[in-house]
Each structure stands twice: as C-alpha cells, then as structure tokens.
Copies of this chain bind each other. A is one copy, B any other.
Amino acid sequence: MAARAATTDRPQAKAFRSELSPVSFLRRSAYVFPDKVAVVHGQRRVTYAEFDERVNRLASALIGTGVAPGERVAFLAPNIPALLEAHYGVPAAGAVLVPINTRLGVDEVSYILEHSGTRMVFADHELAHLVQDCPLPVVRIDDTGLPGDPYEDFLASGSAAHVEHAVADEEQTISINYTSGTTGRPKGVMYTYRGAYLNSLLEALQSHLRPESVQLWVVPMFHCNGWCFTWAVTAVGARHVCLRKVDAGAMWELFEREGITHYNAAPTVHLGVVTHPSAHRLERGLTVAIGGAPPSPTLLAKLSALNFIPVHVYGLTETYGPYTVCEPQEEWGRLSEEERALMLGRQGVHNIVADPIRVVDAEMHDVPRDGETMGEVVMRGNNVMKGYFEDPEATALAFAGGWFHSGDVGVMHADGYIELRDRKKDIIISGGENISTIEVENTICSHPAVLECAVVAIPDERWGERPKAFVALAEGQRASEQEIIDYCRERLARFKAPVAVEFGELPKTSTGKVQKYRLREREWAGREKRVN
C-alpha cells in the first residue's frame, strides 16, 4: 500500500510548495499594511508600501548595474534604513548580501570584500574611508533619505515596479556574515533562505512579536542579520526604529517617544541601559532578548526590577544568532529573585525550530547531566549555517562528526538546560583543574561596586595558569584589589579566586564582547604561551 501511495503522491507543478524566502515577509506586509509606518529613523517615517517600493528600486537598480544571480553585494553601515532595505533588495535581485562589521579596519574590510568576491559595495558616509581605495564600485550612503544622497540616487535609477522574486532552491545562500573573530582571518558564514525564514518565524514567536510591536534597533544588523529580526519584525508587520549609534540616553528617550516594545542587545549594552541616569521602572513591560555573551545574574535581576522582560538566548554567528532560549519555568516564580536570576542566567534549551543541543566530550559522548562536567557545546539542523564560504577545510573542521562545534565550553544541568562555562580558548587550567572564567566573573559582578569584569589566565610558575580579574567599577563606586579577592574567596573554591585585580575600562569588540585576547596578550607578552 505504501508503494501504491507513492505513485500518486505528487500533483503537477508542485502547487503545494513554495521555496521559503524571507523576502515574502516584506511582500505580504506591504500588501496587508501599505500605509502603516514600517521604518522610523529620526524624523523620517517610511510606510510599508514605501519600504517595498524602495526595495524594488534597490533590486532593479542592482540588476541594472549587472549584478548577476548569486553574486555578492556588500553593505558597510550602522543600523540605518539602507541596511534594512538591503536585507530584502539584495535577495530580491537574486544576489547574496554581505553585511560588514562596522568596527573593522581597512585591511579586514578589504579581505572580506576580496574573499567574498563582492561585486559592489554600499558604504555609510562615516565608513566610506574604509573602502576609498577599494577597486569595486562603491555607492556612498549619506543617510539623508533625500535626492543628492548617492544611495538615494542609486534607488532613483531603479524602478518602483514589483521585482519578481522566486528563489529556485531555498537552500541557496541569502547572506554571508563574516565572523568578527577576535583573531585570525574572518570566516564567511553562509545563511540559507530556508534557515533565515525559519529562524525569523521562530524569533517572532519567541519574542511575542505582533503587528503592534515596535522594535528598537540596538543589536547591529550586520551581526547575524540582526539575529534575524531584520526579517522577523517585518514578517508580522511590526515597526522598525533605526538608531545610528547605540546610546543609553537616546534609547530611554525613544522608549517613550516611539513606544518601543522590543529591543535586543548584548549584556554590556543592557548594563548601560539599566545603570543610566534616566533609568526608571517601566509601566508596560519591554521585551528584551539578551545574547552575544552570558548575562550575569546581577544584570538579569536589575532588568526585572525595571519591568524589562528578559528573553535570554544563546547562539553564534554560525547559528543565525539565537539557538537556545532559557525558557522560564512556572515554578521559578516561587524562587527568590536571586535564585531565579541564577536559573535565567543559564543558556537554556534548543528553541522550537532547532535540533536538541548537546554538550559532548572529545569522543562526542554526552557529558552527564550534573551541572559540573564540562564539554563542548555542539548543534545541528535548520538553525545552523550551511558552511563557511570558500573554506571547505574550516567547514569540515567545524562540522566534524556531523555536528557544528561551537567552541564554547558548557555543562548540562539535571533539567536539560545548558550553561556556558567558557570559550574553549578562554578556559583557565590551573594545576590540572579547569577554572570557568564565567563563573569567576559572575561572582565578581555580584559585588555591589562592580559594573563589569573579565577574567583571564596569567602565567604562574607553580600552577601553570592562575586567574586575574580586570574590573570596571560602577560610577561613584570604589573597591580595593584585596576586597575583590576576599569577596571571591568567600564564595568560590579557593583556587578559583583571582590572584590579581586590575581596575579600568575593558577592551571590547563592536558587538560588545570583551576582547579577552587583548588582556591575555599583555599578560603573556614575551612568553611562548597561546595568545588566541
């Protein structure tokens, strides 16, 4: 019978199947909500019909300049409408978007443009110097929205008419996102149309986006396509509020003025928001996804106190941004705020469209669910990249054993929630014992005088390595080195407490990650030890 069924299983022309493409989200919202404001940028307000028209102009102008299907088009811009438009216009033209990290230098940008085989670059006026010697056609974006702005003139050269977009295979690449690796050459992470579509739907569902939602653009759009919210917000017909430069004061102003309901950011940005002089408890809840680095329980407690609803997610560029979510459990409501923050500070469980996440030992066996045994976090499925562009060796290495290797070290708790302990390269090995720098950092952060901190290995004659803490104090606060060390000794196994503390600002990447390698560099200068 099964065999018989197979013969009539498929009707003609596959009218029952459309290739998944996030471009369809904009098409639908422009159809359903043509007059609704889709994008806000300062005084500019763009409706969904206008957004769609601008995307048609961008796509047709790209095709007009000879950009062929599958060719790469790069954008170098902060969170402005042009970069949002690129997320639809470039794929609508059949091309592949390469959004470039705005904090990179000329060399790195040149490398990415060359490695990706980019055909054409769009650069914000503040970043145009990074591509001034580049041999490719460059369109400058003055971000005025007015004629005379080269980007606007480029759009004007295109047609407002609907550009027919139908991707032939949803496993084609929609975007190549170069990782802002702290060292080594950036690698080009390939996202598929299918993966982008599924992850967008997931983010909309998981962050409870609705047509009346208003999303403030804080996480960079160049970072995992804004964790796929460039597409998710559009999918439900909600509103994007752009922001050239992340600034906690401006954010508080926009919360009120634009009725913000959602924003996403790394812990360091959230910390700036909750500690800003304008900070106050919000009447209506603000849903904020937190990712990019583990938030300290202290930060989570502060957010809750202001009526922010944290959605703690974890992932990497290789996983379209968020792969796990720390799903709150009903019984956590009965815990103390501190205990609850500890539960919420864990990276959690695979999201609805992701495959189950694993923490494995070197032989790919699952570590016990004891909350103690460390292993590497590995993932697979629709929430994982297709591979690194033009880098079969790195791809094969990353997918060894058929699973994507995150390079993150974590534990599996009894309830199936994972918790990160470290980046593989950050972990401290002291007298044969592993020390999780995150554990030490979370302890230090719970000290009332501390704003944020980073712990790295420093050389030690006897133990090989020992932890050292770099601490940024909260405004107006003071603490001594000994005080911090004693504070840790009271709360941690003695060998985990830092042997030294240095006060000052922390070096960070554009996405708010602390650059521990820079701190290590200084400490290990002149030694043969790894500085990666």
Q: Does A413 contact B (CB under 8 A)?
A: no
Looking at chain A's contact residues, is the secondary structure mostly helix, strand, loop, or mixed?
loop
User: In the complex, A25 Cα to B350 Cα: how many Å?
Assistant: 11
Count, chain A residues at interface, CB 8 A: 78
Give the complex CA separation of A12 and B380 in angstroms: 12
Residue of B nearest to A204 (CB): B205
CA distance A205 to B69 in the complex (A): 33
* A237 to B119 CA separation, bound complex (whole angstroms): 46
Contact residues of A between 8 and 38, Cβ < 8 Å to B: 8-13, 15-18, 20, 24-25, 27-28, 31-33, 36
Quote the shortest CB–CB distance from A441 to chain B (angstroms): 27
Min CB–CB distance A129 → chain B (angstroms)? 26
Q: Are A381 and B8 in contact (CB under 8 A)?
A: no
From known contacts A5-B70, A389-B5, A403-B15, infer whether A205 and B201 are also in contact, taking CB-CB under 8 Å: yes
- A396 beta carbon closer than 8 Å to chain B: yes
With A9-B387, A13-B399 in contact, is A117–B382 under 8 Å at CB? no
Residues B31 and A356 in contact, CB atoms below 8 Å apart: yes
Chain B residue with minimal CB distance to A415? B34
Contacts of A68 in B (CB 8 A): 2
Chain B's nearest CB lies how many Å from the CB of A175?
A: 13
Within the complex, the shortest CB–CB distance from A213 to chain B, in Å, comes to 11
The 0/1 profile, CB within 8 Å of B marked 1, for residues 55-85 of chain A is 0000000000000111110000000000000
Among the listed B25, B117, B173, B404, which residue makes an inter-chain contact with A9, where contact means beta carbons less than 8 Å apart?
B173
Asked if A349 and B17 sit within 8 Å, CB to CB, the answer is no
Q: Is A390 an interface residue (CB 8 A)?
A: yes
Could you tell me if B352 and A387 are in contact, using CB atoms closer than 8 angstroms?
A: no
Q: A8-B391, A192-B16, A211-B327 are in contact. Are A2 and B71 (CB under 8 A)?
A: yes
**Chain B residue contacts of A20, Cβ below 8 A:** 382
The distance from the CB of A167 to the nearest CB of chain B, in whole angstroms, is 13
A395 in the interface (beta carbon within 8 A): yes
Interface presence of A526 (CB below 8 A): no
Nearest-neighbour CB distance to chain B for A21, whole angstroms, equals: 11
Which residues between 262 and 321 of chain A lie within 8 Å of chain B, taking CB atoms? none
Task: Compute how far the CA of A164 lies from the CA of B119 in the bound complex, rounded to whole angstroms.
Answer: 46
Whether the pair A15, B384 counts as a contact (CB closer than 8 A) is yes
Residues of B within 8 A of A334 (CB): none
Cβ-defined partner of A416 (8 Å) among B31, B353, B391? B31
- Residue numbers in B under 8 Å from A24 (CB-CB): 355
Question: Given contacts A16-B192, A205-B205, is CB(A399)–CB(B71) below 8 Å?
Answer: no
Q: How far is the CA of A211 from the CA of B351 in the complex (A)?
A: 13
Q: Is the CB of A18 within 8 A of B350?
A: no
- Taking CB as reference atom, which chain B residue is nearest A378? B15
Q: Closest approach, in angstroms, between the C-beta of A243 and any C-beta of chain B?
A: 24
Is the CB–CB distance between A16 and B382 below 8 Å? yes
A350 lies within 8 A of B4 (CB)? no
Q: At the interface, yes or no: A392 with Cβ under 8 Å from chain B?
A: yes
CB of A402 within 8 Å of the partner chain: yes
Identify which of B5, B208, B381 contacts A17 (C-beta below 8 A): B381
Contact digits for A119-155, partner B, Cβ 8 Å, 1 yes 0 no: 1000000000000000000000000000000000000
CB pairs A–B below 8 angstroms (23 shown): A1-B71, A1-B117, A5-B173, A6-B70, A8-B391, A8-B392, A9-B172, A9-B387, A10-B171, A10-B386, A11-B392, A11-B396, A12-B399, A13-B399, A15-B399, A16-B192, A16-B385, A31-B349, A31-B356, A32-B349, A36-B329, A201-B352, A201-B353
- If A18-B381, A32-B327, A33-B329 are given as contacts, then 4 extra A-B residue pairs at C-beta distance below 8 Å, sorted by A number, are A2-B68, A15-B384, A15-B403, A20-B382
A residues neighboring B (CB under 8 Å): 1-6, 8-13, 15-18, 20, 24-25, 27-28, 31-33, 36, 68-72, 96, 117, 119, 171-173, 190, 192, 194-195, 201-202, 204-205, 208, 210-212, 235-237, 327, 329-330, 349-350, 352-353, 355-356, 380-382, 384-387, 389-392, 395-396, 399, 402-404, 416
